[in-house]
Amino acid sequence: MSIRESIIGFFDRLNAKPGDARRLRDGDSLLVSVRGNTILAHTFDIALSHAEFVRRSLGTLPEGAWVGTIRKTGRQVIALNSKTFYGNQLPAPQSVQDAIRSAFR
Amino acid sequence: MTARMVSLRASVLRELEVACSQKPGDRIGRLCWLRDQVENYLDRWLAFAALGSIAMKSLVNDDLFVMTRVAAEIYNDEQSKLGDKVKGRAWEAFYSTLLRLEASRDRSLVVGLRPALDAVGADLHDAVTNQASEPASPSRGGSA
């Protein structure tokens, strides 16, 4: 982590309010579940499979919820589908990308 | 080793013990589980690499690549305990490609990773088959 990133991270934590988007660094990756505009669950423990992440955090994937992997890339956070749940790792639907980007930046 | 690597390594080892708790002595089973995890982590990384818009410098330093490397190192440790019971050539080819990719950031190496890992799966399948066909070792202290 660069000195600049450390300073930005420090002030982010200092000024953070509940509900604020969480700042990620380039290359940071998480497993996330989303329904509508709400982040249902997330973990930095990417050693887990998506199935195990859902089982431990939600029990089962709720109707209408999405699960996958997100990664900070440059200035953008990108969400890709879970291969286990969707059979592909394509970019998530736009509504999911929007929900993710309002929670993580 | 970074704090992130330490944390991910601990997580994989914890999951390995849980997954293999039913057969604690089944070393080949542990390797099979680890190979499946490496595949899972690698596929996630490959999906982002396939977007084409992410620089290789970023890709080989990201969490998903680190996760793959960490799991691969644990696989190495486990395989070394097995001696020659599992053919190691396919694994060495995969692991060396992973290391070369990390060092060189040569995008052309990416396409070789998945086939190389598939070959490891074939070697493990052979090892499981051989293990099943081996005669059971005589039990110690059995009735005379």
Q: Looking at the 3D structure of chain B, how many domains does it have? A: 1
> Closest by alpha carbon to B48, among A47, A45, A76, A61?
A76
Q: Output the CA angle A37-A39-A41, nearest 5 degrees.
A: 160
To probe the interface with A, which of B14, B48, B68, B69 has the most A CB atoms within 10 Å? Answer: B48
Residue A55: both structure tokens together: 């089982």
Q: How far is Cα B42 from Cα B46, in angstroms, rounded to an integer?
A: 6
Domain encompassing residue B66: 3-131
CB pairs below 8 Å between A and B: how many?
60
To probe the interface with B, which of A71, A80, A88, A89 has the most B CB atoms within 10 Å? Answer: A71
Residue A74, pLDDT score: 86
Supply the mean pLDDT for chain A: 88
Q: What are phi and psi of A25, to 5 degrees?
A: -100, 160
Q: Which residues of A touch B (CB under 8 A)?
A: 26-29, 45-49, 52, 69, 71, 73-74, 78, 80, 83, 89, 91
| ipTM score | 0.84
Write the pLDDT tens digit of every residue in B1-50: 889 999 999 999 999 999 998 887 788 899 999 999 999 999 999 999 99
B1, with CB counted inside 10 A (0-12, 13-18, 19+), is exposed
> For residue A5, what pLDDT band results from cuts at 50, 70 and 90?
low
Residue B84, pLDDT score: 72
> For residue B141, what pLDDT band results from cuts at 50, 70 and 90?
very low
Q: Please indicate, yes or no, if residue B143 is contained in any of the structural domains.
A: no
Q: Is residue B137 pLDDT above 80, yes or no?
A: no
Write the pLDDT tens digit of every residue in A13-44: 555 555 567 899 999 999 999 999 999 999 99
Q: Please indicate, yes or no, if residue B70 is contained in any of the structural domains.
A: yes
Q: Please indicate, yes or no, if residue B68 is contained in any of the structural domains.
A: yes
> For residue B51, what pLDDT band results from cuts at 50, 70 and 90?
very high
Residue B11, pLDDT score: 96
Domain extent listing, chain A: 22-103
Query: Nearest CA to CA, how far is A79 from chain B (Å)?
Result: 9
